[in-house]
Structure 1
Amino acid sequence: MNLSGGGDPRAWELWIEYHRIRLIREFDELLCLGHLRNIDHYWYQIETVSQVLRRFGGRVLLADEVGLGKTIEAGMVLKEYLLRGMVRKLLILTPPSLVSQWREELETKFGMDFITTEDPSYREGAEDFWRRHDRIIASLHTAKSRKNIDTITAIDYDLVIVDEAHGLRNKRTVSYRLVNAIRKKFILLLSATPVQNNLLELYNLITLLKPGLLSTEAAFKKEYVKRGSLRTPNHPDKLHRLLREVMIRNTRSLVDVKLPKRFATTLYVSPLPHEKAQYEQASRFCRDFGAAREHASLWTVQNLQMAAGSSPLALRESVLHLLEKNEGITTAEAGRLRDLAESLRGGEASSKGVQLLQLLKAREDKKIVFVKYLKTLEYLEGLLSSAGVPFAVFSGGITGPQKDQAIARFREEVPVLLSTETGGEGRNLQFCNTLINYDIPWNPMRLEQRIGRLHRIGQRRDVFVFNLCLAGSIEDHMMRILDEKIHMFELVVGEIDTILGNLDSERDFGSVILDLWVREADEAKRRASFERFGEEIIEARKIYEKTRALDNALFGEDYEA
C-alpha cells in the first residue's frame, strides 16, 4: 500500500481504520455504535452489549422485559462481531411471524443484508440454500422440518440467534433438539418470559448456553426446586448467582424507563355507497381467486385486500399491477379486474378523507398521518392541498436532505406531516404528540412501530392516536379484536407480539385474519369466526399475564446480571 502523500486518500483511511481496529483488543469501545442507522440506543443497551462480549463470551440469555429492545441488543452484538471479523456464518431463528420483521430491522438499522426462508431462492433448492448463504433468517418451524434438520446440523455456524426462545423450553421437542445439535461458536437466546410453566424450562434453556452450569436435571431439582412445586425456587439467591453467568435481564424499574400515557380512538367510518360497492367487489374477487386455487398466492389476495382498506387509488394500482404481471389469471378473472380498475378511476368523495379533514381541523396541534401505500399518500396530498391544509411529506423514496427538510418544515412551519411507514425512524419527532393511522397495518407490531415514533423516551406529553377504518371492512373486524377484546393500546410496546406468540398457529396474525375474511362470504358467519378468534386471543393474553407474573416472581423487579 502506498502511504505517501500522493496515495489514494480512501486507501489511507482504510489503513488507519484497520490499525485502529487491531489496537482495540478488548471490547472497551464498541465499534458498532458508529454504524447504526435510524436508531435510538440507550445506556443500558450499550452496557448489555459490552457485557455479552466481555463477560459472557457471546453465549447468553437476553431476558429484558418486553419493550426494552432485546432485538436492538442482539443486532448490536451481531454487528460488533461482524466488524471485528469474528463471525461469518450466521443463522437467526424466529417464529414465522417475525422473519420479515427481523430482516427489515437488520437492514434498515444495522445495514446488514440477510436472506430468508420466505425468499424464492429457498423454495428453489432447500438443501443448497443453507450451505450457499452465510446470513440466513429462518422460521424455527421451517428449520426443524425433516428436509432441513440434517443439513442445518451439519454446518458450522459462528453465531446463532433464537428469538422468542421460550419456545425451546421443552427439551423433548424437535425445536430444542435442533438448536442443541447445531454446531455454533456463539449463541444468543432472546425471551422476555423464559419461564412459562416451571423451573425445568429455565434449566433446559441454560443448558443450551452452558451445559453443566446447573448440573444434571435431577441435581438441579434437588438443589433449586422446592419439593412439591416446580414453580417455586429453593435457594433463590444461590440460583440468581448462577444465572448471572449466562443471563441478562433489564427491567423498567432498573433502567428507569417512564413514558407518558397514550390514548387511542378507533373511528369506524361508514363507507359511501360507491366505496362500499368497490370494497365488496374487491373482496368477492379475493374470495373467488383463493377458492379457485388450492395453493393460491397468499400475497396476491393479501395485497389486494390491504390496498382496498387503504384507498381507491392504492387498490387500483394493485389491480393494474396484477393485470400487468398476468401470472396464472384466467380470462374471466382478468375481465373482473379490469372492471374493478375502471370503477376506481378516482374523483369521487372519500368517507375516510372527510373524516381526516375533520380531525386535522379540529385542533391546531401538530399531527402525523401514516399510510402504507404511496398512492394513498398522493391522494392525501391532493386532498389537503384542495382543503388548504399546509403539510410536509416524508417517504422512503425521497433523498436524505429532502427528509431533513421535511422534518424541519414540519417542526417549524406546517401542522401536518404525511408519512409512509418508514417515516421518522430514528428522528426526533417528540415535538408532535398526535398520530392518525389513515390505514391500518395487519401486523399489530407495525401499528406499534408507527405509534412508537411519538410514544417513546423523550416524549413529555400524552400521546393521542386515531385509527381510521371503513365500517364492515376486514380492518373493522381486526380492530374490534385488538382494541376492544385485548385493549392493545393499553399494553406496553412489544407485549402484543408476545401475546400473539401464545396462539396455537404457525401463521402470522395477518394471514389468520385474511383466512377468516375470505373463507366466509356470509357476514353473520364471518363475524362469528372473528368472535371465536377474539376469544382465542383473550386466552393468549391470560397465558401471557400468568407467565409474566411467574417470571417477575422468580427474577424480581430489580434483577440484573
Structure 2
Amino acid sequence: MRAGEWWHSIDHDEPCRVVDTETLWGQASCLVWLPRRDTAVRVLQKRLVPLKTGEPHLLDRLSYVSAAARIADALERDALVAPLEGTVIPLPHQLLALQRAISGDRIRYLLADEVGLGKTIEAGLILRELKIRGLVRRILVVAPAGLVLQWQSEMKLHFGEDFRLILPSSLTALRQVGAIDEAENLWRMHDQVICPLDAVKPMDSRRGWSQEQLARYNRERFEDLVSAGWDLIIVDEAHRVGGSTEQVARFKLGDALAQAAPYLLLLSATPHQGKSDAFRRLITFLDPEALPGDDTISREAVAPFVIRTEKRRAIDADGNPLFKPRFTQLVPIAWGTAHAEQRALYEAVTEYVRDRYNRAIKEKQTAVGFLMILMQRLITSSTAAIRSALERRLAALELPQGQLSLFPEDVADDWSSLDGQQQLDTILKTRLKGLKDERKEVERLLSAARRCEASGPDAKAEAALERIQQQQREENDPTLKILIFTEFVPTQAMLADFLSRRGFTVVTLNGGMDLEERRQAQRRFAGDAQILISTDAGGEGLNLQFCHVIVNYDLPWNPMKIEQRIGRVDRIGQPHIVRALNFALADTVELRVREVLEEKLQRILDEFGVDKLADVLDSEDGGVPFEALFAQAMIAPEDAEQQAAGVAEEIRRRAEEARAGSKLLNATETLDPSAAQHIASHQMPYWTERLTLGFLRTQESTGALVKPSGVGFDLRWPNGDTTASAVFNRDDVDRPGATLISLEDERVRGLINSLPVFAPGQPIPSVVIPDVSDKTAGVWSLWRISLHTAGGRERRFLALFVSEDGRVFGPTARMIWDRLIDLPVDLSQATDDISGAPALQAFDASRSAAESQGAAVFGELLAAHQSSIERERKKGGHAYSSRRRAIERLGLPQVRSYRLGILADDEQAWNRELTARETAFPDLAAVLMVRVAPAGTSG
C-alpha cells in the first residue's frame, strides 16, 4: 500500500485514501483519510480491502444517495421544508418571510407585518424550519398574558408542536410543596415553553417584601428563565419590551432574552411608534452593533433585520387581494318610553360617579377614582352589570375597617392591559375604603337598579335582538352567526339569557374560563351555535373567519380595542364583507364624545391610512389618553366636544410621527403567488421517502427492514428501532396510526449530512435507463462542490453526463438524476461494469468536466461569501467608528486614552478574526458515478 491509493475500510464501510503506512513490531497499519467523516484515522492494513465491486442492492443505493444529494442541494439553496409539512399552505407574504429569514447570515429578525397578516404563522414556519434542519431544540415563546393560549393552540393546530404553558406562580407552588429541589432550574424541565411576558420581568422593589424575597422572586422568574439554555426565543408584541427607557423592567427583560439564545424573533405590527429611542432598542436586541452610538437611524441600517408586509399589498395564492372591504356603523340606541326608569338610573349613577370621582381626586384616593370610572362604563353596559357591581361595592362598605386592603401597585402599572371585567374584579377585591355617606348612596342606587332590572329588558338588549333579526333578513340566512362583545360578565349572562329565551343558540367566552372551556365554546360556535358573546379577555386570540357580523354591545373607550375585536373576524380567509355594528346609548356624553372622535379619526384615516392610525392607537409608549378624555367628559360634559377634538389633534400629530417612523421599515417586496402554488407540488416529501426506503433496503444484512402496511410502511432501522405505519406526505398524516417521517428525523438528517464519496479507480457500475440508454451511452456522475472557510462550509451539487464520444450533456445529466431517484420502477442493472484502468480513466474524464462546469458554481459560492464578509466589515467598521466618536467626547484625557486603547485592541482582534474567515478554499468530490449502458445490456 502506498500513500495516495484508495482502499475500502471494512471497519468504516467506506472508501478511504492512504496518507501514510507504518509497520511496528510486526503490525502493519495505515493512516487513512475518511472523506465521509472528513477525518484521518489509523487502521490495520488487514482491515483494508480493494474498492468494492458489485453489490446486492445497487439500485437501492443509487436511489437513496441520489435522493439524499438532491435534498442536501435543495437545503443549501435555501429550499423551504416547513411549508410542506404543516396543516396550512402559507400565503405568498408568509413564504417570503420564511425565505428571507432562513437565507440570512444570522436568524435574528423583527417580523413587522401589519395586524392580521399572520405573524404567528410566520414564526411557526421559521421555528419548524430550524427544527427540521436540526438547528434548534429548546424554544421559548414570551407573549402578553392574553395571547399565550392562542400561541399554544396555533402551534399545536398548524404545526403539531406541543408547547408547555408555564405560569411562574406554579413554579413557586412546586417549590413550596417540596416537589422540586430549591437549586433546580425549573425552566429546563421542558424543551418548548410559553410564558406570559409581564410575569417574568425583573422586579426592583415591592411593598412589604424583603431583599431575600425579591432575590428569590427574580431568580425563579427572571434569572433562571434567561439562563435555561434556549436555542430560539420568540417575543410577541415585542414593542412592549422596547421600554420608555433602559431602566424599566420590560426593557431589562427584553435585553436579557436577546442575549439568551442565538436565534431571536421579535414580533410587532407597530415597532416604530414615532419614538426612535424605543425602536433603536428593539433593533439593538437583534444586533448590538446595528445602530451604534447616536447615529441617525436609516432604512439601510435596519433593512437587514426587518421583515414587513402591508395589508394593502398582501395577496392570496391566486394573486387576489387578501382582505375584503369592511363596513362599520355607529348605532345610537334611543331611550324608548318603556325605558324611562333605565334612563333615570343612568342619570343617577352618572351624578354619583361625577361627585365621587371629584372627591376621590381631591382626597388622592386614586383607586376609588378608578372604580368610579368603571361605574360609568357599567351603567352604559347593562342594568345587570351596574346592579351586580353596586351589590359588591355595598358588601365591601359593610366590612369592618380593619378588613380593608390596599390597591396593589403592580396591578396599577398594567391597568390598561386588563379588560373591563378584570379591572372591576381587581378593584372590588381590594375592598376600598368608602367616601363620606357613600354607603347610603350605594343603597339608594342599588334599590333603583333592582327595580329597573325587574321592569323589563334593557333598551340595548332589545335593539340587539332587532338588529340581529334584521341582519338575518337582509342576508336571507336564519342561521347567520353573530359575534357579540361585552365588557362585563353580568351583561354577558343577561344577554345570553335574553337571546336564548328568544330561540337563539348562544355560547359565551370570558377571561375566567380555562383552555378546554374556551375550546369547547369555539367548537360550539363553529358548529350549531348562532351567537357567541365574549368579553375582551375571552376574545383574545380568537380566529373566527366563518363569522362576518360583529356587534360591539359595549364600546371600550380606546378605539383600538374595537379594532382588535373586529380583527377576530376580519382575518385571512374571511370570504365575506365584515359588518361591525357599534352600539351606544343616545343622548349621553359618551355618544357625543364618540361621534366627534369617529368623525376626526376618519379624516386621519383618509389622510394617513389604517396602518399609521393603528400605530398610534395601539401605542404602549404614552398612549392616547382615551380614559382621561371620557373621564373628563363625564366630569365636565359641557367641554366634551372640545376635549375630544383636542385628543383627535394629538392623534393626528402622532400619526405624522408614525408615518415618518414607518419610512424606516422595509417597503413590501413584490409578492409572487406562484411560490405558494408551488408548495403543493414540491417533491421534498417524495425525495425523503426514496432516501429512507432505499437506505433501509441496502441495510438488510444488519436487520433493517421495509414492509408495506395498511398505512404506509413498517420500518426497522439498523439499530433495531422500529417505526410503524411510516408516511412521508402531510396528506397522509391524518390516517389512523400514521407516523410522519420528515427531515426533522435525526436518522434522515444523518444520511443527508454523511453522503459517501466515490473514489478514483472504484469500479463503476452499469445501469440501463429507458429513454436514455436507447439514445446514448456514457458515464453519469454527481459531484459535491464545497467552499471551506474558518467559519464552516458551503456546498452545492453538480450532475454531469459525459457521453462515450466525450461530449458533456447538462439536461441529460439532470434527467438521469431524477430517474435514479425514481428507482426501482424502470431501471435495471447491466452486466458490463467498468473496473481497473478504464474506471480510473472514466473518473479522470468526469472530474475534468466537473472542474470545468463547476467553476461557475464555486464562483457563486465565493461571491456570496465575499459579500457576507463585506457586510460584516462595513457594519463592524461603522460600529467601531461610532464607539470611537463617543469615547472622544469624554472630558477626562486619562479616561479617554484608556478607553481608546481598549477599543483599538478590540478592533484589531475583530479584524484578525474577520481576515481568518475571509480565506476560502474549494473542494471537489465525487458522490456517485454510474455507466449508462446501451439498451439491451441488462443482466
Q: TM-score range by the shorter chain?
A: 0.5 to 0.7
User: Conserved in 1, the CA contact under 8 Å of 2:633 and 2:639?
Assistant: no
SS at match of 1:134: helix
Aligned-pair CA distance for 1:311? 0.4
Matches within 5 A, 1:289-304: 289=357, 290-291=360-361, 293-297=363-367, 299-304=370-375
SS at match of 2:454: coil
> Is 1:348 aligned to 2:455, yes or no?
yes
Q: Structure 1 residues 205, 377: closer, same or farther in 2, change over 3 A?
A: closer
Cα distance in 2, alignment partners of residues 76 and 341 from structure 1: 54
User: Conserved in 2, the CA contact under 8 Å of 1:392 and 1:409?
Assistant: no
The superposition leaves residues 344-378 of structure 1 with CA deviations (integer Å, 9 ceiling, x where unpaired) of 11033522233223312324232333323232233
Q: Structure 1 residues 184, 440: closer, same or farther in 2, change over 3 A?
A: same
Aligned match for 1:246, one of 297, 302, 305 = 305
Find the counterpart in structure 1 of residue 562 from structure 2: 447
Aligned-pair CA distance for 1:310? 0.9
SS at match of 1:317: helix
Aligned-pair CA distance for 1:191? 5.1
Matches within 5 A, 1:25-174: 44-45=93-94, 48=97, 55=104, 57=106, 59-70=108-119, 86=138, 102-110=144-152, 111=165, 112-114=194-196, 116=198, 123-124=206-207, 125=209, 127-128=214-215, 131-134=218-221, 161=235, 163=237, 165=239
The amino acid across from 1:466 in the alignment is L
Matches within 5 A, 1:317-336: 317-326=388-397, 327-330=431-434, 332-336=437-441
Aligned-residue sequence identity (percent) comes to: 21
User: Conserved in 2, the CA contact under 8 Å of 1:115 and 1:135?
Assistant: no
Aligned match for 2:650, one of 532, 536, 539 = 536
> Is 1:555 aligned to 2:667, yes or no?
yes
The amino acid across from 1:294 in the alignment is K
Find the counterpart in structure 2 of residue 278 from structure 1: 345
Matches within 5 A, 1:507-522: 509-517=625-633, 521-522=635-636
Q: Structure 1 residues 506, 281: closer, same or farther in 2, change over 3 A?
A: farther
User: Conserved in 2, the CA contact under 8 Å of 1:251 and 1:558?
Assistant: no
User: Conserved in 1, the CA contact under 8 Å of 2:111 and 2:268?
Assistant: yes
Cα distance in 2, alignment partners of residues 80 and 313 from structure 1: 51
Aligned-pair CA distance for 1:200? 10
Q: Structure 1 residues 280, 206: closer, same or farther in 2, change over 3 A?
A: same
The superposition leaves residues 523-544 of structure 1 with CA deviations (integer Å, 9 ceiling, x where unpaired) of 2134432332222223223333
**Equivalences, count:** 476
Calculate the TM-score normalised by the size of structure 2. 0.42
Moved more, 192-201 or 264-273: 192-201
Aligned match for 1:404, one of 518, 523, 529 = 523
SS at match of 2:147: helix
Cα distance in 2, alignment partners of residues 161 and 385 from structure 1: 41
Aligned match for 1:337, one of 424, 428, 442 = 442
SS at match of 2:643: helix
Aligned match for 1:392, one of 495, 506, 512 = 506
Aligned match for 2:637, one of 523, 531, 539 = 523
User: Conserved in 2, the CA contact under 8 Å of 1:266 and 1:467?
Assistant: yes
Bigger radius of gyration: 2
The amino acid across from 2:325 in the alignment is K
Cα distance in 2, alignment partners of residues 378 and 437 from structure 1: 16
Q: Structure 1 residues 293, 268: closer, same or farther in 2, change over 3 A?
A: farther
User: Conserved in 2, the CA contact under 8 Å of 1:75 and 1:106?
Assistant: no
The superposition leaves residues 412-442 of structure 1 with CA deviations (integer Å, 9 ceiling, x where unpaired) of xx5x554444359545442x43222111123
Cα distance in 1, alignment partners of residues 497 and 272 from structure 2: 52
Unaligned runs of 5+ in 2: 1-77, 153-164, 166-193, 398-430, 673-939
Q: Structure 1 residues 448, 501: closer, same or farther in 2, change over 3 A?
A: closer
Find the counterpart in structure 2 of residue 4 from structure 1: none
The superposition leaves residues 472-494 of structure 1 with CA deviations (integer Å, 9 ceiling, x where unpaired) of 44642553254221129889776
User: Conserved in 2, the CA contact under 8 Å of 1:263 and 1:489?
Assistant: no
Cα distance in 1, alignment partners of residues 353 and 123 from structure 2: 39
Aligned match for 1:313, one of 380, 384, 392 = 384
The amino acid across from 1:395 in the alignment is L
The superposition leaves residues 17-47 of structure 1 with CA deviations (integer Å, 9 ceiling, x where unpaired) of xxxxxxxxx998779x99x9xx998675577
Aligned-pair CA distance for 1:69? 4.3
User: Conserved in 1, the CA contact under 8 Å of 2:373 and 2:631?
Assistant: no
Cα distance in 2, alignment partners of residues 51 and 199 from structure 1: 25
User: Conserved in 1, the CA contact under 8 Å of 2:597 and 2:645?
Assistant: no
User: Conserved in 1, the CA contact under 8 Å of 2:379 and 2:385?
Assistant: yes
Aligned-pair CA distance for 1:266? 0.5
User: Conserved in 1, the CA contact under 8 Å of 2:507 and 2:524?
Assistant: no
Aligned match for 1:360, one of 461, 468, 478 = 468
SS at match of 2:507: strand
Aligned-pair CA distance for 1:261? 0.9
Cα distance in 1, alignment partners of residues 619 and 90 from structure 2: 28
Cα distance in 2, alignment partners of residues 368 and 180 from structure 1: 36
User: Conserved in 2, the CA contact under 8 Å of 1:67 and 1:494?
Assistant: no
The amino acid across from 1:407 in the alignment is A
Cα distance in 2, alignment partners of residues 318 and 467 from structure 1: 24
The superposition leaves residues 115-169 of structure 1 with CA deviations (integer Å, 9 ceiling, x where unpaired) of 63799x9744595486145269xxxxxxxxxxxxxxx9x9999658485649969
User: Conserved in 2, the CA contact under 8 Å of 1:63 and 1:250?
Assistant: yes
Aligned-pair CA distance for 1:294? 1.0
The amino acid across from 1:185 in the alignment is A
Aligned-pair CA distance for 1:71? 6.5
User: Conserved in 1, the CA contact under 8 Å of 2:597 and 2:644?
Assistant: no
Cα distance in 2, alignment partners of residues 303 and 191 from structure 1: 30
The superposition leaves residues 370-404 of structure 1 with CA deviations (integer Å, 9 ceiling, x where unpaired) of 32323223322443356x45343233455744542
User: Conserved in 2, the CA contact under 8 Å of 1:286 and 1:304?
Assistant: yes
> Is 1:500 aligned to 2:542, yes or no?
no
Find the counterpart in structure 1 of residue 491 from structure 2: 376
Aligned match for 1:209, one of 279, 286, 292 = 286
Calculate the TM-score normalised by the size of structure 1. 0.67
Aligned-pair CA distance for 1:58? 5.2
Cα distance in 2, alignment partners of residues 320 and 81 from structure 1: 55
Matches within 5 A, 1:470-485: 470-473=585-588, 475-477=590-592, 479-485=594-600
Q: Structure 1 residues 380, 501: closer, same or farther in 2, change over 3 A?
A: closer
Aligned-pair CA distance for 1:464? 1.6
SS at match of 1:329: coil
Q: Structure 1 residues 164, 343: closer, same or farther in 2, change over 3 A?
A: same
Aligned-pair CA distance for 1:313? 0.2
Matches within 5 A, 1:186-265: 186=261, 188-190=265-267, 192=269, 206-212=283-289, 239=300, 245-252=304-311, 253=313, 256=316, 258-265=322-329
Unaligned runs of 5+ in 1: 1-25, 93-101, 137-151, 222-229, 234-238
User: Conserved in 1, the CA contact under 8 Å of 2:590 and 2:630?
Assistant: no
